[in-house]
Chains A and B, each alone.
Chain A
Amino acid sequence: MGIPSVPLVTKAFKDLAILNAGKRGMPLERICFTPHPVWGKTPEELRVYVDGPDPITGKPLMKEVVDGLTVPLSADEKKTGIVSVSVGPPTFTDTAENLQEFYLNNGYTDFLPIVLPTQEKVDAMLKGSSHHPDEVIGKMAAGAYPPWTYTVRQVAASAVMAGCRPEYFPILLAIASTGIASLFSSTNSFAFSMIINGPIRDKLEFNYGIGALGPFAQANATIGRAWTIMSKNLGNGGIPGDTYLGSVGNNLNYNNVVIAENEEASPWDPFHVQRGFKKEENVVSLFRGLGVVPGQVARGSSVNTSPMFDAQLSDLFSTFTGFFGALVIADPLVAVRLKEQGYDTKEKLIDWLYKNTTQTVKDYKGRNYSYLFEYPQALQGVEPFATWYKLPDDAVIPHFPRASSFNVVVTGGQTNAYPQAANMSYGVSVSIDKWM
């Protein structure tokens, strides 16, 4: 802005604030800190923060703030120029045991043993695609940070580390080309998912039968794992306190809920066809949100009555945040039953879920994400939030802002009619074929 300023940050975000200021060109920015948390404190409690010390320096907070605005700048604070950033040499040489330890200790892994990305193995991985190893294919950031760039070769290194086969490589390049990291800096502990469609599911022996979301096939296991390792290495994500702030964390980050759709047993169009691709095309679609819950716990799921899966799903979704989307993960038995109930397309099911999953305005306004993300939009006139915030508290509104918040995918082994549901939003679908 060109005028003196002081950012005020709670102490929990000390490392994040200092590092982000550095990445953005002001490494010595005069940041002042308050105790943590601020949220949920009364005005009187926060007055104690203001009158008290900066918990990092121990000096009176408001004196630091005033000093931050008035003490003349040092020579370092006036510096200009370009500072190069190094991530070390292109290769490392040592014994296998020491390299394993080195990669683990430097945050290159998911803290499980890796396959060492030797030149030989990386070269083999590169043969899985026709793209040049030095082609720069994307930019990735794990949040509001300056993004990093990366080449086909750098993607290959992470793919080897995760245990992928060379024939999996086009899927990883497709994911990398989106720039979407599977580790995100938010305190919310986000989870990520991918849907795989097309003939490649069989060619690579993805599991979309019994235990489709479990650890029962190499493609499902390692491709999902590779997304997280790529996010750490290509986008510098997953550094606790710096590029990762998830308070509790999310176990799904280990391999990111890989869903190969059971297109053959589904009564509906495959997901990628809904997105405009041809059935014979190979496509990966990415999702982001909070997690997955089982459907057999929902109301209406009694074994003594005919299952009403639409009502079950609606019940599940009513506990979700509408800020993220609602993804139905239907076993084929569930999908077939829904079709028998009249939902002969995914779109019809989505329409019913959108209209019948509701909430009161009072409940809506009381939700964390409504205040953080949608109330500011309401003030700017963005619909439906602008209208929703003007309604009386007892008015009934949709739980999700639009029908497109919902998505449906079919997978599973038909051992029982149990759906699952993810509080996840659709991001993008990209061709795998163009990376072969």
Chain B
Amino acid sequence: MNRRKLLSLLGMSPALLAGAQMEAQQPKAAKSGKVAAAENAQFEALNPKGSPPPVKLIPMAPRLDSVHGKTIYLVDTGFMSGGVLLQQMQIWFNKNYPDVTVVFRKKAGSYMEDDPPLWKEIKEKGNAAIMAIGH
């Protein structure tokens, strides 16, 4: 499923996703001529869904002109083997972009926890970040 169709499942308004249709609009029409009259009686039933919060759009940060000479943080969120994958990525950068400074960090706490000190460090000392998770 492509991204636009996936996001349409969120029920986001067309302002962001022009042309996307929310799937849960109205039931399909009854099968004509195949059910008895009593079975064609109409019922009104409640939509049982709760109320989702509105989404505040966050603009993405401006991109770099290139990665040459920049400092890139590789952040391991703590899932199994995520750090091993990032170490291989570090080797790749060293070979293909030797002028890039690569900093490896394991996020504090379990994968569900926030790590504001690390985000502060990356913002102050880094130019970009790659965050890798696992399974």
Contact = CB atoms under 8 A, between A and B. Distances in A.
A102 interface: yes
A161 interface: yes
Interface string B90-122: 011000110000000000111111000001001
Max chain A Cβ within 10 angstroms of own Cβ: one of B12, B35, B122, B135: B135
A24 B58 contact: yes
12 contacts: A5-B128, A22-B10, A39-B80, A39-B134, A50-B89, A86-B13, A98-B29, A146-B53, A157-B46, A372-B78, A373-B110, A380-B108
Interface stretch (A68-76, A198-206, A426-434): A68-76
Nearest to B90: A50
A27 B58 CA distance: 9
A113 to B, nearest CB: 14
Interface footprint category on A: 35 or more
Interface stretch (A8-16, A208-216, A279-287): A8-16
A372 B66 CA distance: 35
Given A85-B55, A90-B47, A3 B30 contact: no
Contacts of B133: 7-10, 13
A248 interface: no
Contacts of B67: 66, 69-70
Given A49-B85, A371-B80, A90 B46 contact: yes
Max chain A Cβ within 10 angstroms of own Cβ: one of B12, B91, B111: B12
A304 interface: no
Interface footprint category on B: 35 or more
Closest 4 CB pairs of A and B: A150-B50, A102-B27, A157-B48, A148-B50
B61 to A, nearest CB: 5
B63 A96 contact: no
A390 interface: no
A415 interface: no
Max chain A Cβ within 10 angstroms of own Cβ: one of B46, B55, B78, B131: B46
A270 to B, nearest CB: 33
A87 to B, nearest CB: 4
Nearest to B17: A27
B38 to A, nearest CB: 10
A106 B135 contact: no
A88 B26 CA distance: 8
A81 B132 CA distance: 28
A10 B28 CA distance: 36
B53 A376 contact: no
Contacts of B60: 4, 26, 28-30, 73, 77-78
A12 B135 CA distance: 9
Contacts of A71: 63
A89 B96 CA distance: 54
A41 B81 contact: yes
Question: Do most interface residues of chain B lie in helix, strand or loop, or is the interface mixed?
Answer: loop
A25 B7 CA distance: 11
B43 A86 contact: no
B57 A80 contact: yes
A309 B62 CA distance: 64
A85 B11 contact: yes
Given A77-B59, A106-B24, 14 more contacts: A2-B123, A5-B130, A7-B132, A7-B133, A8-B133, A15-B1, A34-B85, A46-B85, A69-B64, A69-B128, A82-B55, A91-B46, A95-B30, A153-B46
A117 B57 contact: no
A65 B131 CA distance: 11
Interface stretch (A232-240, A325-333, A337-345): A232-240
B116 to A, nearest CB: 10
Contacts of A379: 108
Contacts of A377: 109-110
B47 A5 contact: no
Given A8-B131, A85-B55, A376-B108, A161 B81 contact: no
Given A3-B123, A79-B57, A117 B45 contact: yes
Contacts of B17: 27
Contacts of A29: 60
Contacts of A41: 81, 84
Interface in B9-29: 9-13, 15-17, 22-29
Interface string A134-164: 0000001000101111100110011001000
Contacts of A229: 48
B119 A38 contact: no
A152 B42 CA distance: 25
B41 A38 contact: no
Max chain B Cβ within 10 angstroms of own Cβ: one of A23, A95, A119: A95
Contacts of B61: 1-5
A234 B50 contact: yes
A95 B44 CA distance: 9
B51 A149 contact: yes
Nearest to B25: A88
